[in-house]
Chains A and B, each alone.
Chain A
Amino acid sequence: MRLELVKRPQRSALFSTISPLIALVLTMAAGAIMFSVLGKNPLDALYYYFIDPLRETWSLHELAVKAAPLILIAVGLSVCFLSNNWNIGAEGQFIAGAIAGGILPVVFPDFQNGLVLPLMLLMGFAGGAAYAAVPAFLKARFNTNEILTSLMLVYVAQLFLDWLVRGPWRDPGGMNFPETRDFHAFAILPELMPSAGRAHWGIVFAIVAALVLWFVLRKTLTGFEIRVLGQSPRAGRFAGFSAPRMVMIAFLISGGLAGLAGISEVAGAIGQLQPSISPGYGFTAIIVAFLGRLNPLGIVAAGFVLALSYLGGEAAQISIGLSDKAARAFQGMLLFFVLGCDTLIHYRIRLAGRAPTARGEAAQNV
């Protein structure tokens, strides 16, 4: 006996709407069981996970700080994924953007005026885009597998940054420790409300980018082209759309936004370059993109949910001594149930006694 996923002829509007709710209830139920088994009060745990981080202004700011890079990267990735370009290297493009933007405050620390920050942001965008252009060019020209090339370039970027901050870019006053000099005041991305918390302009960039891309994807010919080429490259060719051109466009947009996220993170939240500037935002953003159903507005919400799950995990560790591993397992449950519920809207499970029929209705999992 085996299980199969069979595509539903049409999906239920009702269940599409309430699917996130069902997922949430299932997560809470499963989480409550796990917390009880660990000897924690499940109500306390859920409270600290979902409510405590939202109770105070500073914590809401932190939510924005955490969500900003996730959203910015993920909306870019949605263009890639919708057009069937599998950019797995956003983490590298994030770092490339941070390095490119960091050139001004680190190498030219005496260049200090109001131009510095706008230039840094532009260079960050350009740096990420240029780095993404490498796997894009290889795919468009030689038909290489972009999953591999973009992923491998992540490690190149990480090691290059590591080399820079230990070598040529090391802070001359830093006793040989691996970090650059602090960015000067003109190179810092301002906080939105400095008295209230740490949220900086990065979250504004993220939301503006989401709105713009939502408009482009929904209302413009380019958006139509992206979706057609993603769903049916052959149909796209008949319509006169160029697949290699789309590869470049998609990678440049997503690389550029990842680069912008990178420079915003170092100029906003960190204030200098270090050996490690991202706890894996470029990879987590892939989850955010799918959690938001590749819709830029959905991604904004998904980014906040995922950020909340990080903050909540910390709050639960501090307040009730939940272990880091349990906090992450709970985060995993949330993602599992959300994606699982989504899958079951589009597909139904069928018990098959023997090998599948040859009618081609057996579908793949998402």
Chain B
Amino acid sequence: MKKLILALAASTAALAFAAAPAAAQDKTKACWIYVGPIGDFGYSYQHHQGLLDVEKHFGDKVETAYLESVPEGADTERALERFARSGCDIIFATSFGFMDPVQKVAAKFPDIKFEHATGFKRDHPNVSTYNSRFHEGRYVQGVIAAKMSQKGVAGYIASFPIPEVVMGINAFLLGAQSVNPDFQVKIVWANTWFDAGKEADAAKALIDQGVDIITQHTDSTAPLQVAAERGIKGFGQASDMITFAPETQLTSIVDDWGPYYIERVQALIDGSWKQNDVWGGMKDGHVVMAPYTNMPDDVKAAAEAIAAKIKDEGYNPFTGPVAKQDGSEWLAEGQVAPDGEVLSMNFYVKGIDDKLPN
């Protein structure tokens, strides 16, 4: 096997000269690393749409590159470093688990800008963080669910009990309770972001328990397809999944990262890039509702009304009165939750019949 290495080196040495890498250009190079495959039609797919938006917007002025399915762990740091050394000027790291490697590599390459999605660490001036208020869309979904459900029970396929997911569950239930105060939500923790098999099993289990509407915080189209088979309604996740369930999807929360990516690359080109911590929502165009389909007109009107209230009037889904699960008060009448409390949310609101795994 030693020989194999020698052979590798020898027989390809000629290639080293035959195919020298392309010389660096003075174009701006923007790079992305994704935790999943771009074919997930969910989270990573949607970030990749943002990359395509950047290509479309800037044309020849910007060069792009990406790495998909990068594991969170020791491999992340290498992937980032390879990007940094391959001439990237700005690197978008699109998964929470990339957080600490981003800080380490950013320290080594102070001239390169790093943008980390969904994290909270900005240890160096060249690191920014960005995220979207997806829970705004979940509040709208809650309103729709409560209007559409006959039984008043929705099934929720959750990924991991981190604040991002917990706030989504709470916002969904608060939206539903605004229509039907007795609305219930059953939760299954799939412990994965993307696993079509597990997600489908979770959807089946929930439907067997009697829910007649399904929503998910996992990325595959499987739950929606199971809902279609069983003849109930559901919501898409991260992208518009209507083509996978044309008779089933009510709407979907579409993560539109394009505007943010274009803005940041433009800032880099202009020399005005500065560290920031952006948490954009519907009004920034970062969270977009897919068309309201498969529902009566009055439900559609209600959905449009609440979405407009959030988008145009700045209504915060976490506006009091809201009680915690144990009945104690969280937000008084009219009180709006500070962003800090939402971003570290680790409790359920009243009405959820589940124990937060922790």
Establish whether residues A274 and B72, one from each chain, have CB atoms under 8 Å apart when the complex forms: yes
Is the C-beta of B23 less than 8 angstroms from some C-beta in chain A? no
Which residues in B have their C-beta under 8 angstroms from that of A321? 65
Which residues in A have their C-beta under 8 angstroms from that of B1? 20, 291-293, 295, 297-299, 301-302, 305
Q: Which residues of B contact A (CB under 8 A)?
A: 1-5, 7-9, 11-13, 15-16, 18-19, 21-22, 31, 37, 65-69, 71-75, 77-79, 81-83, 85-86, 96-97, 100, 120, 160-163, 191, 343-346, 357-358
In the complex, residue of chain B having the shortest beta-carbon distance to the beta carbon of A41? B19
Complex: A46 Cα to B8 Cα, angstroms: 11
| Contact among A278, A299, A338 with B73 in the assembled complex (CB-CB below 8 Å) | A278
Is the C-beta of A51 less than 8 angstroms from some C-beta in chain B? yes
Which residues in B have their C-beta under 8 angstroms from that of A346? none
Establish whether residues B81 and A62, one from each chain, have CB atoms under 8 Å apart when the complex forms: yes
Complex: A308 Cα to B85 Cα, angstroms: 18
Establish whether residues B18 and A176, one from each chain, have CB atoms under 8 Å apart when the complex forms: no
Which residues in B have their C-beta under 8 angstroms from that of A198? 77-78
User: Smallest distance from the beta carbon of A26 to chain B beta carbons, Å?
Assistant: 12
Establish whether residues A305 and B8, one from each chain, have CB atoms under 8 Å apart when the complex forms: yes
Which residues in A have their C-beta under 8 angstroms from that of B78? 62, 65-66, 198, 311, 314
Is the C-beta of A160 less than 8 angstroms from some C-beta in chain B? no
Is the C-beta of A50 less than 8 angstroms from some C-beta in chain B? yes
Establish whether residues A50 and B8, one from each chain, have CB atoms under 8 Å apart when the complex forms: yes
Establish whether residues B5 and A305, one from each chain, have CB atoms under 8 Å apart when the complex forms: yes
Establish whether residues B5 and A301, one from each chain, have CB atoms under 8 Å apart when the complex forms: yes
Q: How many residues of A contact B (CB 8 A)?
A: 71
Is the C-beta of A36 less than 8 angstroms from some C-beta in chain B? no
Complex: A52 Cα to B191 Cα, angstroms: 37
In the complex, residue of chain A having the shortest beta-carbon distance to the beta carbon of B162? A177
Which residues in A have their C-beta under 8 angstroms from that of B81? 58, 62
Stretch in A113-121, A228-236, A245-253, A265-273 with 4+ CB within 8 Å of B: A265-273
In the complex, residue of chain B having the shortest beta-carbon distance to the beta carbon of A24? B7
18 pairs of residues in contact across A and B, judged by CB atoms under 8 Å: A46-B12, A50-B8, A59-B82, A65-B74, A167-B358, A175-B120, A175-B163, A176-B345, A198-B77, A269-B74, A270-B74, A274-B73, A276-B71, A277-B73, A279-B73, A297-B1, A298-B1, A318-B31
User: Smallest distance from the beta carbon of A165 to chain B beta carbons, Å?
Assistant: 11
User: Smallest distance from the beta carbon of B348 to chain A beta carbons, Å?
Assistant: 13
Complex: A162 Cα to B162 Cα, angstroms: 13
Q: Contact flags (1/0) for A15-42 with B, using CB distance below 8 Å?
A: 0011011011100100000000000010
Establish whether residues B97 and A305, one from each chain, have CB atoms under 8 Å apart when the complex forms: no
In the complex, residue of chain B having the shortest beta-carbon distance to the beta carbon of A302? B1
Establish whether residues B69 and A324, one from each chain, have CB atoms under 8 Å apart when the complex forms: yes
Is the C-beta of A43 less than 8 angstroms from some C-beta in chain B? yes
Is the C-beta of A317 less than 8 angstroms from some C-beta in chain B? yes
Q: Contact flags (1/0) for A200-222 with B, using CB distance below 8 Å?
A: 00000000000000000000000
Establish whether residues B4 and A21, one from each chain, have CB atoms under 8 Å apart when the complex forms: yes
Establish whether residues A272 and B16, one from each chain, have CB atoms under 8 Å apart when the complex forms: no
Complex: A48 Cα to B20 Cα, angstroms: 9
Complex: A324 Cα to B31 Cα, angstroms: 15
| Contact among A56, A176, A325 with B162 in the assembled complex (CB-CB below 8 Å) | A176
In the complex, residue of chain A having the shortest beta-carbon distance to the beta carbon of B72? A276
| Contact among A170, A271, A279 with B71 in the assembled complex (CB-CB below 8 Å) | A279
Given A297-B2, A319-B86: A272 in contact with B100 (beta carbons within 8 A): yes
Given A62-B81, A315-B82, A318-B83: A51 in contact with B12 (beta carbons within 8 A): yes
Complex: A185 Cα to B79 Cα, angstroms: 24
| Contact among B9, B85, B346 with A58 in the assembled complex (CB-CB below 8 Å) | B85
Establish whether residues B68 and A178, one from each chain, have CB atoms under 8 Å apart when the complex forms: no
In the complex, residue of chain B having the shortest beta-carbon distance to the beta carbon of A271? B100
Is the C-beta of A304 less than 8 angstroms from some C-beta in chain B? yes
Identify which of residues 36-82 in chain A touch chain B, using a CB-to-CB cut-off of 8 Å: 41, 43-44, 46-48, 50-52, 54-56, 58-59, 62, 65-66
Establish whether residues B15 and A43, one from each chain, have CB atoms under 8 Å apart when the complex forms: yes
Is the C-beta of A166 less than 8 angstroms from some C-beta in chain B? yes
User: Smallest distance from the beta carbon of B62 to chain A beta carbons, Å?
Assistant: 15
Complex: A51 Cα to B77 Cα, angstroms: 21
Identify which of residues 77-101 in chain A touch chain B, using a CB-to-CB cut-off of 8 Å: none
Which residues in B have their C-beta under 8 angstroms from that of A292? 1
Given A43-B19, A46-B15, A272-B100: A324 in contact with B3 (beta carbons within 8 A): no
In the complex, residue of chain B having the shortest beta-carbon distance to the beta carbon of A23? B4
Given A166-B161, A178-B160, A318-B65: A44 in contact with B4 (beta carbons within 8 A): no
User: Smallest distance from the beta carbon of B352 to chain A beta carbons, Å?
Assistant: 17
Which residues in A have their C-beta under 8 angstroms from that of B5? 301, 304-305
Given A51-B15, A166-B161: A338 in contact with B4 (beta carbons within 8 A): yes
Establish whether residues B346 and A44, one from each chain, have CB atoms under 8 Å apart when the complex forms: no
Interface-centre pick from A46, A54, A317 (highest chain B CB count, 10 A): A317
User: Smallest distance from the beta carbon of A100 to chain B beta carbons, Å?
Assistant: 18
Given A62-B81, A314-B82: A175 in contact with B343 (beta carbons within 8 A): yes
Complex: A166 Cα to B345 Cα, angstroms: 14
User: Smallest distance from the beta carbon of B98 to chain A beta carbons, Å?
Assistant: 11
Which residues in A have their C-beta under 8 angstroms from that of B97? 274, 276
Which residues in B have their C-beta under 8 angstroms from that of A265? 74
In the complex, residue of chain A having the shortest beta-carbon distance to the beta carbon of B79? A314
Interface-centre pick from B8, B65, B81, B85 (highest chain A CB count, 10 A): B8
User: Smallest distance from the beta carbon of A313 to chain B beta carbons, Å?
Assistant: 10
Given A295-B1, A338-B4, 5 more pairs with CB closer than 8 A = A47-B16, A48-B21, A182-B100, A311-B78, A324-B67
Which residues in B have their C-beta under 8 angstroms from that of A178? 160, 162
Given A62-B78, A276-B73: A176 in contact with B86 (beta carbons within 8 A): no
